[in-house]
Structure 1
Amino acid sequence: MKYGIHLPHAGDQATPALIRRHAERAEDLGLEDVWVSEHIIVPRDKFPRSPLFFDPVLSLTWAAAVTKRVKLGTTVLVLPMRHPLPLAKELATLHNFSEGRLIMGAGSGWLKEEFAALGVPFEERGRRLDEGIAMMRAVWSEDPVTFKSRYIPAVIEGMTMTPMPVSPIPLWFGGSAEPALKRTIRIGDGWHGSSLTADQAAPIIKRLRDARPGPDFTISMRVQWDGTDRGVLRALVDSYAAIGVQHLLIAPQDRNVDDWEKVTEGVGALVA
Structure 2
Amino acid sequence: MTPHDNLGYQRLFDDGLSFGVGFPLTNQNDTMPDVDEELRLARHAESVGFDALWARDVPTYWPSFGDAGQTFDVWPWLTQVATVTDELALGTASVVLPLRHPLHVAKAAATVDQLSGGRLVMGIASGDRDPEFPAFGVELSDRGTLFRESVELLRTVWREDYPEVESSWGTLDGEITLVPKPTTETVPLLPTGYARQTLEWIAEHGDGWLFYQLPQSTLESYLADWRDAAGDTPFSMAVQVELADDPGDGPEHIHQGFCAGTEWFRDYFSGLNEMGVDHVLVGLQSDDPEADLSRFADEVISPRS
Same fold (TM over 0.5): yes
**Where do residues 184-203 of structure 1 align in structure 2 (5 Å cutoff)?**
184-203=202-221
Q: Shift in Å at residue 183 of structure 1?
A: 2.8
Secondary structure at the residue paired with 2:211?
A: strand
Match of 2:293 in 1: 264
- Partners of 1:93 and 1:177 in 2: how far apart? 25
1:128 corresponds, among 132, 146, 152, to 146
Instruction: Tell me if structure 1 keeps the 8 A contact 2:98–2:143.
Output: yes
Q: Shift in Å at residue 264 of structure 1?
A: 1.9
Secondary structure at the residue paired with 1:161?
A: coil
2:166 corresponds, among 138, 148, 151, to 148
> For 1:172-194, what per-residue CA distance to the aligned partner results, in whole angstroms no more than 9, with x for missing partners?
11114772523311201101111
1:36 corresponds, among 46, 55, 60, to 55
Cα separation, partners in 2 of 1:248 and 1:51, compared to 1, 3 Å = closer
**Deviating runs (4+, > 4 A) in structure 1?**
48-52
How many residue pairs align between the two structures?
264
Cα separation, partners in 2 of 1:52 and 1:187, compared to 1, 3 Å = closer
Task: Determine whether 1:8 maps to 2:40.
Answer: no
Task: Determine whether 1:25 maps to 2:44.
Answer: yes
> For 1:121-152, what per-residue CA distance to the aligned partner results, in whole angstroms no more than 9, with x for missing partners?
11101110110011111111111111110x22
- Partners of 1:73 and 1:259 in 2: how far apart? 23
Secondary structure at the residue paired with 2:218?
A: helix
Q: Shift in Å at residue 19 of structure 1?
A: 2.3
Matched to 1:144, the amino acid is Y
Q: Shift in Å at residue 50 of structure 1?
A: 6.0
Q: CA RMSD in A?
A: 2.0
- Partners of 1:174 and 1:41 in 2: how far apart? 19
- Partners of 2:128 and 2:80 in 1: how far apart? 27
Instruction: Tell me if structure 1 keeps the 8 A contact 2:94–2:124.
Output: yes
Matched to 1:242, the amino acid is E
Match of 1:89 in 2: 107
Match of 2:177 in 1: 160
Q: Shift in Å at residue 52 of structure 1?
A: 6.2
- Partners of 1:261 and 1:180 in 2: how far apart? 40
Instruction: Tell me if structure 2 keeps the 8 A contact 1:184–1:191.
Output: yes
Match of 1:67 in 2: 85
Secondary structure at the residue paired with 2:121?
A: strand
Matched to 1:162, the amino acid is V
- Partners of 1:227 and 1:180 in 2: how far apart? 36
Task: Determine whether 1:249 maps to 2:249.
Answer: no
- Partners of 1:16 and 1:4 in 2: how far apart? 19
Q: Shift in Å at residue 49 of structure 1?
A: 5.1
> For 1:100-132, what per-residue CA distance to the aligned partner results, in whole angstroms no more than 9, with x for missing partners?
100000111112111111111111011101100
Matched to 1:88, the amino acid is A
Runs of 5+ in structure 2 lacking a partner? Answer: 1-16, 245-260
1:225 corresponds, among 234, 237, 241, to 241
Matched to 1:161, the amino acid is L
- Partners of 2:207 and 2:188 in 1: how far apart? 6
Matched to 2:116, the amino acid is S
Instruction: Tell me if structure 2 keeps the 8 A contact 1:19–1:59.
Output: no
Instruction: Tell me if structure 1 keeps the 8 A contact 2:96–2:124.
Output: yes
Match of 2:7 in 1: none
- Partners of 2:21 and 2:70 in 1: how far apart? 19
Q: Shift in Å at residue 261 of structure 1?
A: 2.6
Aligned-pair identity (%): 31
- Partners of 1:50 and 1:127 in 2: how far apart? 26
Instruction: Tell me if structure 1 keeps the 8 A contact 2:199–2:229.
Output: no
